[in-house]
Amino acid sequence: MPDLDPDEFRRLGHQLVDWVAEHRASLASLPVRPEVTPGAIRAQLPASLPDKPADDVGAALTALLDDVVVPGSLHWQHPGFFGYFPANASLLSLLGDLASGGLGGQGMLWSTAPAGTEVEQVLMDAFAEALGLGPEFTFDGGGGGSLQDSASSGALVALLAALHRSSPDWRESGVDGRERVYVTAETHSSLAKAVRVAGLGAQALRIVPFAPGTFAMSPEALAGMLADDVAAGLRPVLVCPTVGTTGTGAVDPVRAVALAAREHGMWVHVDAAWAGVAALCPEFRYVLDGVELVDSFCTDAHKWLCTAFDASFLWVRDGRALPDALSITPEYLRNAATESGAVVDYRDWQVPLGRRFRALKLWAVVQGTGLDGLREHIRGHVALASELAERVRAAPRFALAVEPSLALVCLYVLGPDGEPDDEATRATLERVNAGGRSFLTHTSIEGRYAIRVAIGSLTTTASDVDTLWRSLTSP
């Protein structure tokens, strides 16, 4: 197959870079949410692929982007995007992605990607130090980290390592139906999916009640459930405290949860996908309280840390735990470096065999911002959320659903009786989203419909929060 020659690639690459730069520069002028109906985008595309190449590949690609993709996309990089959690695809990180794609390496083994492996190891150890995780999570300290595609994958491999530790013959004999995994009703659905993918069955997932007056896991309730399950002949395998739940931003008491789990020898995996990176700032390091007692810790670079999807940090205390659970070595993967035991083969730290050079994205970001720039980024969003929360407190038609958590604010619209009004809250969210200047998502809090305002987009400023507030409060 004929490929582009370097000069033609250079020409087309400049054209596409110009398109991306212009798209980002004009993004604020676009509606955040597309006005499309299901099937409308498919209807604009030809049903068959061309037998012959396009006369102008660059023109064909930019035409698709301009005419179909941009009008049909939810714009996650828009300054008025306040839904879900942020997805910070900085232009800095795109430079690293371009370099990774240009190298075209396959990082499954150290021997197939020595630089890819060791750059990632250095980066993971350095971020562990910057976050305050402690030396036990570094390669030098006997642990180590890897860049997963997502926190969902991190949860799955942590569960597989937990199963292996609970039953070392698990790889051969499989599960026996007695395994149990402990979460709360606020825990991300990726844990339920991990349980399903691992073949444990729905009965394996145990929902721990909240501590009174909170949406955080009750350590006392967990301890009681563990004792009861062990007495019933069941096998507690993993508990997942969350730091910054998706629904309300709740922070489970990691230290107390880990202590409750310790006597049963179970794996403690912390899901801090959104909030964990806040620990770069000393004043927010409380989110890591108790992490020194856990087995694995996950937080995403691709949410709030200026790095394009996909890049999720996963650290483990025991650097052998994931390879022991996951390694399968057919003859075609054998090599002298692996046999020496002196290298890390990242294929043993994840479910897929292959992997991209994700570390280049983060390397580009840190070189372009420094850790101080990342701290400023996080602090700015937390400050904007605090200011928004004060507006909600002062507004007679609104109420905070829960206290703000870092850069997440959850609120209700009140009815004439002063109580949260589900229909009014839903109608307000729909009106804001239809206006096109801001985009919000919702959650359910004790059966009440609540609006979530997740502040975190790269270019969001106080002016964008002002625009959101005007949209929320307009009749």
Q: At residue 1, does pLDDT exceed 70?
A: no
Stretch 446-464: mean pLDDT, rounded? 97
Query: Which of 65, 55, 53, 56 is closest to 18 using CA atoms?
Result: 65
Q: How far apart are CA 126 and CA 112, in angstroms?
A: 23
Give the pLDDT score at 29.
96
Q: How confident is the model at residue 204 (pLDDT cuts 50, 70, 90)?
A: very high
Give the tens place of pLDDT for each residue, 243-261: 999 999 999 999 999 999 9
Contact between 345 and 109 (Cβ < 8 Å): yes
Q: Could you tell me what percent of the chain has a pLDDT over 70?
A: 100
Domain boundaries 365-473, corresponding CATH code? 3.90.1150.10
pLDDT at site 344: 97
Statement: residue 475 has pLDDT above 80: no
User: What letter does residue 66 receive in the DSSP assignment?
Assistant: I
Answer yes or no: is pLDDT of 185 > 80: yes
Q: Which residues, including other chains, have CB under 8 Å from residue 434's CB and lie 6 or more apart?
A: none
Q: Residue 2 above 90 pLDDT?
A: no
* pLDDT score at 188: 95
- CATH 3.90.1150.10 domain span(s) along the chain: 365-473
336-395 per-position pLDDT tens digit: 999 999 999 999 999 999 999 999 999 999 999 999 999 999 999 999 999 999 999 999
pLDDT class of 171 with cuts at 50, 70, 90 = confident
Token duo for residue 65:
């982007």
Q: Among residues 247, 222, 250, which one has the least CA distance to residue 236?
A: 222
Kindly report the average pLDDT of the chain as a whole number. Answer: 96
* C-alpha pair distances (Å), 371 with each of 57, 285, 416: 39, 15, 48
Total-model pTM: 0.96
pLDDT in tens, 17-34: 999 999 999 999 999 999
**CA pair distance 181, 239, nearest whole angstrom:** 6
Check pLDDT > 70 for residue 154.
yes
**What are the backbone angles phi and psi of residue 92, rounded to the nearest 5°?**
-55, -45
Q: Rounded CA gap, 342 and 85, in Å?
A: 39
Report the range of poorest mean pLDDT among 60-74, 127-141, 160-174, 344-358: 160-174
Residue range 105-356, CATH number: 3.40.640.10
Q: Does position 297 have pLDDT exceeding 90, yes or no?
A: yes
* Predicted local confidence at residue 170, as pLDDT: 86
Intervals of CATH 3.40.640.10 along the chain: 105-356
Per DSSP, the three-state class of 256 is: helix
Whether the link from the prior residue into 310 is cis, omega within 30° of 0, is yes
